[in-house]
Every structure is written in C-alpha cells, then in structure tokens.
C-alpha cells in the first residue's frame, strides 16, 4: 500500500506520518508539492501511483481568508479538482479534511449531524464547503472527514497559543460564546486510518463540546498555568471573520459504523 500525504509540515500530517512510519509513504509540503499547481499534482501522482492520498494541506487562517479568499479557494477547493482528475487513473482513495465552520452555528446546543445543511458564515468555511462539493461532484472513491478545533504537535493550535500567552500575562480573556469540540490530531489520524473503506462525508471529532473559555480552563488546570482565565464574548475581540456561536458536531454515525466508542474531549487532552 502506497500513501501520498500532502501538507507534511502541518500538525495533522505529522500524526499520519508517525502512524504510517512502517508503511510505504511519500510526504510533501508546499515547497515540494503545490496542490494548486496542476502540473505538480499530475507529476506527483503519476510518479507515486498512490493507493491512498491523504490531503492534509489547507489554507487555515480564518481571519486572513476574509481578504485572501481567492487564495483560500484555490487551496481549499480548486485543488480537489486536480486530485480528482489525476487520481482517477490509479483509482486512488482520497482522504480529505473539512471543518465544522461549514455550519452557521445555532442557538440550541444540539450538535450538527451529517444530515444538517451547511451554510458557512465566513469565507474560510465557504472555501472548505466548496472543496467538499468539488471533490464529491468529480470523484467517487473519497472520504471527507469534518473535524473541529484540532490540536497536536506544532504551534498553530489553541493549547500552544494559550501557553505562550500565559507566560507574560496575569489575566487572559477567552470567549465563552464560541462552542465546538476540541479534538487531538492523533485521534483523527488513528480513526481515519480505521475508516479507509468508508466513502462519503463523516464527522470526526471527540464526544461532548466546550466553549473556548471552558477549554482554556481545562488547559490551565492540567498544565498548572499561573494565569487567571476570564470569560469574554467574541465581539470583544473585533476579529475580521465571524465565528459560529455553536458549531459542535456529532460523530455518532462514524462511531457506530466503526463500532468504536469515541472519547470525550477531556479524556484525550494532551
């Protein structure tokens, strides 16, 4: 089995590389494989002829996507057309990752299922939803896993940033009206690899949900951070992109399909 992994320097790709270290893997970051470049994608796929393509490359800057939508769209959406075109010849299984931000958020705290209608409220979410649509419209052998609030090895995640902020501040204000599901990359990687035979769109996150504020309290407690965590509202921060107030997703469909009980987000904290 040959695996092609994109976005190799990202936190999610690193977990796949760890878990597949004894397999025949080929991993590339942007400097070696620009997924928006049709020629690059064609040459990589024709050279490797992968059985599985795990696409971890993404434009993930939610706020910058508001002014760089064209770039976000190329990476998060149009690139999927390249994969679909050139993977067809080798019947490569495409594993792709989307986000809870395809949903608009809602007032009642009922997690979204795969049957709920996406309707993103920011351009990042829009670009990811377009990627889902392009892949599903142009290819059959794929799985799209919607994930939320990923954290793992690296600096582009909330726990890392919170620890950095706590080093030189006595107080931190964290939004208590943004709610989703903290999910570690190692859980996503190990679960996605168990689901290689599945096709379609699936929600893949831990059980339960939390606000950013509640998550920050948990991190501060377990890391023994000497900083006071205070509740705030999203509007207090004047961020360019709107965030859904409640975008937690239910992974019951995938959990039952795999016959695995998914852990609560607190159980998997690292």
Pick from 24, 25, 228: nearest CA to 14: 25
Would you tell me which CATH number, out of the four given (3.50.50.60, 3.40.50.720, 3.50.7.10, 3.30.70.890), belongs to the domain 2-157+181-210+247-258? 3.40.50.720
Q: Specify the pTM.
A: 0.96
Position 269 pLDDT exceeds 60: no
**Helix or strand or coil: residue 24?**
strand
User: Which tokens hold the place of 115?
Assistant: 């049957």
- Confidence category of residue 160, pLDDT binned at 50, 70, 90: very high
Query: For the packed helices 158-167 and 212-223, what is the interaxial angle rounded to 10 degrees?
Result: 60
Q: Name the residue ranges covered by the structural domains of the chain.
A: 2-157+181-210+247-258
pLDDT, tens digit (0-9, with 9 covering 90-100), for 161-170: 999 999 989 9
- Mean pLDDT confidence for 134-139: 98
Query: Please, what is the average pLDDT of the chain?
Result: 96
Position 252 pLDDT exceeds 60: yes
Cα 239 from Cα 212, distance rounded (Å):
15
Residue 48 is inside which H or E element, if any?
A: helix 38-48
């Amino acid at each position: 089995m040959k695996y092609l992994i994109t976005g190799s320097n990202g936190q999610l790709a690193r977990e796949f590389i760890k878990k597949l270290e004894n397999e025949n893997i080929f991993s590339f970051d942007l400097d070696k494989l620009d997924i928006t470049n049709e020629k690059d994608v064609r040459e990589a796929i024709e050279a490797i002829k992968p059985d599985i393509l795990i696409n971890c490359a993404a434009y993930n800057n939610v706020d910058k996507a508001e002014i760089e939508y064209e770039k976000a769209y190329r990476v998060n959406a149009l690139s999927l057309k390249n994969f679909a075109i050139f993977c067809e010849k080798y019947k490569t299984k495409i594993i792709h990752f989307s986000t809870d931000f395809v949903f608009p958020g809602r007032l009642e705290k009922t997690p979204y299922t795969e049957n709920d209608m996406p309707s993103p409220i920011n351009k990042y979410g829009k670009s990811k939803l377009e990627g889902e649509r392009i892949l599903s419209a142009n290819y059959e052998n794929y799985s799209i896993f919607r994930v939320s609030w990923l954290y793992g090895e690296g600096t582009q995640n909330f726990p890392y940033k919170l620890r950095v902020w706590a080093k030189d501040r006595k107080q931190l204000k964290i939004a208590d009206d943004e709610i989703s599901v903290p999910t570690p990359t190692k859980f996503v990687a190990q679960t996605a690899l168990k689901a290689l035979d599945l096709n379609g769109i699936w929600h893949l996150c831990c059980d339960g949900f939390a606000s950013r504020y509640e998550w920050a309290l948990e991190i501060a407690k377990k890391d023994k951070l000497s900083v006071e965590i205070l509740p705030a509202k999203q509007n207090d921060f004047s961020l360019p992109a709107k965030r859904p107030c409640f975008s937690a997703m239910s992974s019951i469909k995938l959990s039952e399909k795999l016959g695995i009980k998914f852990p609560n987000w607190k159980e998997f904290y690292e």
